[in-house]
Structures are given as C-alpha cells and as structure tokens.
C-alpha cells in the first residue's frame, strides 16, 4: 500500500470514529485518556489488518463489523444497526404488508425467540407458539445472529419455504418445521358484539392508525348499547408508544398512564391522562386479556389499566419487553441505528421490562398434554396435515372431519386427544382467523362467564 492510500485509510477511520464518539448521536461521549487510547488502538489494528491481512479486506465490511461489535457489547438485543439493505427491509415491515411466515421475534436470554405468531398466517397454522426458541434457520445456527439478520433469512418470495428448528419447553429435543412463505397483511382490529351486548375488540398491533380505528369501534359500540367490553391484547407484540398512550387515555380520565426513565433528562417523561380523551365510561365493566405474547405497547396499556383498576386483567403474565427504542438516521436516511434510550414504568412505578404484567385473574389457555409431545413432533416433522388434506381435499370443519382426522393421526403413529387434533385441524382449515373462537378459547370463555354475572 502506498503512503497516499494509507493516509486516506487512516483519515476515513478517524472520520468514522469522530462521528461515533462525537456528535454522531446527538451528544458527545465522555472524553478521557482511556477512550483516547482505545481509539488510537482501534486505528492501529484497522491499519494493520488493511496492510497485512492475507487478502485485501473490504473496508465497508470491516466498518460495519466494528459497529455491530460495538453495539453487541451493550448486551441489548433491541439495539442494532441497519445498513441500506436491512433498513429497506425494515421500511417494508412497518408498512404492514410483506412476504414471510407471520411471526414477531425478539432476543430473549440471547436466544432468538418467538413473541407471537400472527393469527391466520403460515406460522400460526404451523403451530408456532410464544416463547418458542428458533435455534436454526434452514439448518444454520442463529447464534450471534441479530434480529434483522434472522428476519431477512425467514422472509422470501411467496410459495418458497423456510425450515425453522424449534426448541420448545416440554419437549425432549428440538424439531424442524417447514413453513411456506406467503403475503402477510397485518390488520389492526378484529371485533364483534357478543351476546348480552358484550363488546369484543381485539387489537393486534399498535401502529399509526390503531388509536383512530379503536376510537371508532368504541364509539360505535357505545351507540349500540354496549354493557361491557372485552379488550383483547393477547399476541399483540406492541408498536408505537404514542398509540399506546392514546389508547390507554380512552379508558383513564386522570393520572399517570406510563413513564419512561433513561440516562438523559430529556428521556425521563411522564405521560398523563386527559379527561377530554376519555371514551369508555368509568362505570362500564372492562376485561383486558393478555398472555405471554403481549409485549411492549400492550404492556403499557395493561399496566395502566391494571394500576388504575380500570379493567380486570385476565390471562397469563405478559412477555416483559418494555424498553424504549429511538431511530437515528444516517447517510440521508438510508441507514439507521435502533438504540434503546429508556425503559417503561407503570403508573405505580413498576418496571415492566424483564418482568411483565401479572394479570388479576390467571387463566391458562388450551395446552397440549405432555403425553402428546412425541405425537406433536411427528405431526410437524412428517407434515401429517398436508398428507391428510391430500387424501381428503377441501374438507369442511365438522364432527365427521374431526373424527376422520383423529383416526388418521392414530394410524400414522401420532395419536392425540380429540380436543388437540380438532384444534390443529381448525387452525389449518381456518385460513382467515375467526374473530372469536369459543370452541377452544377458554380465556375468552372465562371473561364472558364473569361478565354475564355482573350485567343484567
């Protein structure tokens, strides 16, 4: 390498580091002799690699690797850098329409973990569950993979398949699930009026339109004479803080909704309720459903309504993901840093992150029997649902088909209870998830049962 080229290399590294430790993030790092020495060491190592490595290194790859390594040292799986390609994929996702399998994932204890499958999607029909650990994607280990890397590998063209190796609590060993990709359309709300004028609204995510759509539904049901409300946030992985605050404000007329606490004073915020924003009457009975797939913004709303005793929370402990991320843009908005800047606290001051919201009434959902674990592995590995549908095309979901499928599983050495086999069959045949499923949803059944005791 010539002297001029070496100088350009060092200047480029210095400019990069100056941006990172100087004004690149909007505030300067604390400068001291130890940080200066570390920066000098970094430049020397980069220079040695550039001059002496056996093959000419890719400068861009080296820098991105250095950035990723720096962020990994924070030990925060929700903080990561997005280059042009990853940021483009991120922009596609937030528009609510993309090709994939339909799961929300996160890092939990440094393992790629399912937060929730989206109802009606390939992942939902394949039987993926909250807290399933994805240890391989197409045979490649997910160790040291970022969430963005994993998402990019899971997504692909419609009709193509991806194989996930799943480690699930209760199973003796991991198993593979092959899932065909499809177009994923995310709709925010599913709703209907149940018997006795019980309003049921399920919010599936917190996006830019969620608060407006929910306000419309709440006002519509008020006009219809709603006597009680079941607000369902199960499987809702979260979304925008602003949407969560707006929605909590519909139920609470006074007091703190949520607070955020960070390192900098401008990140310590308190969001208060406004009486003008209240839509739901204070005397209207409200049951809020949550489960282990309820995360982030869902936990903000659940924490607010529980602390203010504005709703009876029912279901399972929520996921426990409640840290605040902010996007910092670079290169004209083509690259971005997703950085954790604060954490959420409920109105009573309880930290949500890593702990979750414990409901007032714990009701576990339909669970598979331990004796069925081996059968469930064979069901997934041998693609028994596909074999059944090949032999019995376009079946109707009725008692005859349920019995036929149950016998089919027994004959394929995967015996299950009628309840379990019927649940799997219905999930596959119902390409468009029903608004409610009273056949298997015992949490919803319990909420309805309790409400009917309190209303006339």
CA distances from 296 to 118, 273, 447 (A): 16, 19, 23
Choose, from 204, 306, 321, 402, the residue flagged as catalytic: 321
Q: Where does residue 290 fall: left (phi above 0), alpha (psi -120 to 50 degrees), or beta otherwise?
A: beta
The helix-helix angle for 147-154 and 84-94 (nearest 10°) equals: 70
Identify any residues that bridge with 229 across adjacent strands, giving them in sequence order.
199, 286
Pairing of strands 312-315, 361-362: parallel
Q: Is 296 a catalytic residue?
A: yes
Q: Is the Cβ–Cβ distance between 116 and 108 less than 8 Å?
A: no
The DSSP annotation for 373-412 comes to HHHHHHHHHTTHHHHHHHHS-S---SHHHHHHHHHHHHHT
User: How far apart are alpha carbons 307 and 76 in whole angstroms?
Assistant: 28
Q: Is 83 a catalytic residue?
A: no
CA-nearest of 277, 275, 269 to 300 is 269
CA-nearest of 127, 186, 182 to 155 is 182
The helix-helix angle for 241-251 and 210-223 (nearest 10°) equals: 20
How many residues appear in the chain?
Answer: 456
Choose, from 296, 323, 421, 422, the residue flagged as catalytic: 296
Q: Is the Cβ–Cβ distance between 116 and 124 less than 8 Å?
A: no
Catalytic residues: 296, 307, 321
């Amino acid at each position: 390498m010539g002297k001029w080229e070496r100088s350009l290399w060092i200047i480029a590294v210095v400019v990069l580091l100056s941006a990172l430790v100087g004004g690149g993030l909007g505030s300067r790092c604390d400068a001291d002799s130890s940080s200066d020495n570390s920066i000098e060491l970094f430049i020397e190592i980069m220079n040695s690699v550039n001059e002496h490595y056996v093959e000419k290194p890719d400068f861009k790859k080296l820098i991105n690797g250095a950035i990723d390594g720096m962020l990994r040292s924070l030990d925060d799986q929700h903080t990561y850098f997005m280059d042009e390609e990853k940021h483009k994929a991120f922009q596609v996702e937030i528009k609510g329409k993309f090709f994939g399998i339909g799961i929300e994932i996160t890092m939990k204890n440094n393992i790629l973990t399912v937060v929730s499958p989206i109802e009606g999607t390939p992942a939902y029909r394949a039987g993926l569950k909250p807290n399933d650990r994805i240890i391989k994607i197409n045979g490649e280990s997910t160790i040291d993979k970022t969430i963005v890397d994993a998402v990019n590998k899971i997504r692909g063209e419609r009709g193509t398949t991806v194989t996930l190796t799943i480690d699930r609590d209760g199973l003796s060993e991991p198993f593979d699930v092959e899932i065909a990709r499809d177009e994923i359309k995310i709709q925010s709300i599913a709703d209907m009026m149940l018997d006795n004028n019980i309003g049921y609204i399920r919010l599936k995510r917190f996006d830019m339109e969620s608060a407006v759509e929910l306000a419309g539904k709440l006002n519509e049901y008020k006009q219809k004479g709603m006597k009680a409300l079941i607000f369902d946030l199960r499987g809702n992985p979260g979304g925008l803080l602003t949407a969560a605050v707006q929605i909590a404000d519909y139920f609470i007329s006074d007091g703190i909704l949520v607070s955020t606490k960070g390192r900098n004073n401008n990140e310590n915020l308190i969001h208060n309720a406004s009486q003008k924003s209240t839509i739901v009457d204070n005397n209207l009975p409200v049951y809020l459903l949550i489960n282990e797939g309820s995360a982030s913004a869902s936990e903000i709303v659940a924490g607010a309504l529980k602390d203010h005793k504005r709703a009876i929370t029912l279901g399972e402990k929520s996921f426990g993901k409640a840290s605040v991320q902010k996007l910092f843009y670079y290169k004209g908005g083509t690259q971005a840093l997703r950085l954790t800047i604060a954490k959420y606290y409920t109105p009573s001051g309880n930290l949500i992150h890593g702990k979750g919201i414990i409901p007032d009434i714990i009701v576990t959902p339909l669970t598979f029997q331990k004796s069925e674990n081996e059968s469930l592995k064979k069901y997934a590995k041998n693609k028994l649902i596909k074999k059944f549908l090949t032999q019995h095309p376009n079946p109707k979901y009725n008692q005859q088909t349920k019995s036929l499928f149950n016998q089919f599983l027994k004959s394929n050495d995967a015996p299950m209870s009628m309840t379990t086999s019927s649940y799997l069959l219905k999930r596959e045949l119902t390409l468009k998830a029903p608004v409610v499923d009273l056949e298997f949803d015992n949490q919803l059944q319990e909420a309805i049962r309790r409400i009917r005791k309190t209303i006339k």
